[in-house]
């Protein structure tokens, strides 16, 4: 008895035969669809898609042979098995039935048990064939999908490989067992990795080689070991090499879509020029700050010169401010000498001036110039 409920289409112009077969098939768990009209039978076959057709040969209008031929021509029904039911038992009649596409031929009068046995066999074969066809279709689709996926994967891999090699960073990907999975040529060149280490793909050997090129080799190794001990962590720091180069280092875990850990990726970027530029900029900022301070002191001196009336006070104040200016930058020694020389000239010739204007302001002279100015 079938595990599901297959559908059987019975086509016979004799209602008695239809009823007889329907009772037996229904009792065996089959769904039964019937027709006494051969033309209607073709439509039912298309719409119902039965698992088997029991088809009478001698029928008014189209006979069973013609109906079977039409069913086999139609792509919607050509795979449905057909068993002929006929009172004609001659060999030529049976041969003709098989030639038009029938899979079996039962002569009338028939025994119910014989019909049921043949129906069950053919339904089982049909279902097995259909399942196999479905499996083949699924397999073909899966193969096509995998080919498409493989092509897409190759394309994406080519892009990633090109990006990796075009990167200014040295890139190394290591498995959870510390074996090299991938790297780019930039990484090899940055660290001058020997061919034997490249060939071995041994991460510990590479780490030992790289650490000996660092100014602090133990710190380099400690960071690596820490990240292997804590695979979820990321790292971003700077490594200084013995040859003066400065490397920016970044590391992160490599994970799949399901969060499975596959290892770790390392990026190394040479930032030596950037570091030198930053240091130069820092020095320039310090120099500019010094010059700004110097300008402030010069401005204070200029303002005092514009309003001074007592040169003894002037000299004391100038001495203090010039000392400040001198301490700000040794390069201001020339300015200090110039200002002192100017003050000496003013001291010698101040008695000859009726009034002196330094910045547009009048300065009254003392009656005794020798006491009002800094003597030579």
Domain 7-135: give its CATH code: 3.40.50.2300
- Residue range(s) of every CATH 3.30.450.20 domain in the chain: 167-270
For 94, what's the count of Cα atoms within 13 Å in the CB-facing half-sphere?
A: 9
Contact 180, 201 (CB under 8 A): yes
Residue 209, CA distances (Å) to 168, 193, 265 in order: 21, 8, 18
Strands 31-35 and 7-11: parallel
Sign, CA torsion 306/309/311/313:
negative
The pLDDT of residue 359 is 41
CA distance 226 to 231: 9
pLDDT of 216 reads 95
- Alpha-carbon distances, residue 350 vs 133, 147, 312, 342, 364 (angstroms): 121, 102, 13, 12, 10
Q: What does the alpha-carbon distance between residue 9 and residue 145 come to, in Å, rounded to a whole number?
A: 38
Instruction: Indicate if the pLDDT at residue 355 is higher than 50.
Output: no
Write out the residue limits of the CATH 3.40.50.2300 domain(s) in the chain: 7-135
DSSP state of 365: P
Q: What values do phi and psi take at 246, rounded to 5? A: -120, 125
Tell me, what's the pLDDT at 347?
45
How much is the pLDDT for 299? 80
Which tens digit of pLDDT belongs to each residue from 299-351? 877 776 666 666 666 667 667 766 665 565 554 455 545 555 544 544 444 43
Give the global pTM: 0.46
Class (C level, CATH) for 167-270: alpha beta
């Amino acid at each position: 008895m079938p595990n599901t409920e297959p559908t059987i289409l019975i086509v016979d112009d004799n209602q008695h035969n239809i009823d007889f077969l329907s009772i037996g098939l229904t009792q065996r768990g089959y769904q039964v669809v019937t027709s006494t009209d051969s033309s209607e039978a073709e439509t039912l076959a298309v719409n119902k898609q039965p698992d088997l057709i029991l088809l009478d040969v001698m029928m008014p209008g189209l006979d069973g042979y013609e109906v079977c031929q039409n069913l086999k021509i139609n792509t919607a029904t050509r795979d449905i098995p057909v068993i002929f039911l006929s009172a004609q038992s001659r060999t030529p009649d049976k041969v003709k039935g098989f030639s038009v596409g029938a899979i079996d031929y039962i002569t009338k009068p028939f025994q119910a048990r014989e019909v049921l046995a043949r129906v069950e066999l053919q339904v089982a074969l049909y279902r097995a064939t259909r399942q196999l066809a479905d499996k083949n279709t699924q397999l073909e689709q899966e193969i096509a999908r995998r080919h498409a996926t493989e092509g897409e994967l190759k394309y994406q891999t080519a892009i990633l490989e090109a990006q990796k090699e075009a990167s200014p960073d040295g890139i190394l990907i290591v498995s959870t067992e510390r074996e090299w999975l991938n790297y780019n040529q930039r990484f090899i060149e940055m660290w001058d990795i020997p061919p034997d280490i490249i060939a071995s793909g041994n991460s510990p050997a590479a780490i030992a080689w790289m650490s000996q090129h660092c100014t602090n080799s133990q710190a380099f190794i400690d960071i690596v070991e820490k990240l292997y001990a804590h695979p979820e962590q990321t790292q971003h720091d700077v490594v200084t090499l013995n040859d003066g180069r400065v490397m920016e280092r970044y590391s992160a875990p490599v994970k799949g879509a399901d969060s499975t850990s596959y290892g770790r990726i390392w990026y190394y970027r040479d930032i030596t020029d950037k570091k030198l530029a930053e240091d130069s900029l820092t020095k320039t900022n310090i120099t500019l700050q010094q010059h700004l301070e110097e300008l402030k002191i010069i401005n204070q001196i200029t303002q005092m010169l514009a309003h001074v009336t007592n040169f003894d006070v002037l000299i004391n104040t100038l001495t203090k401010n010039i000392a400040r200016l001198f301490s700000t930058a040794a390069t201001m020694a020339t300015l200090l000498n110039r200002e002192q020389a100017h003050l000496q000239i003013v001291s010698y010739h101040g008695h000859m001036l009726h009034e002196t204007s330094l910045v547009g302001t009048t300065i009254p002279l003392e009656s005794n110039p020798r006491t009002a100015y800094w003597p030579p």
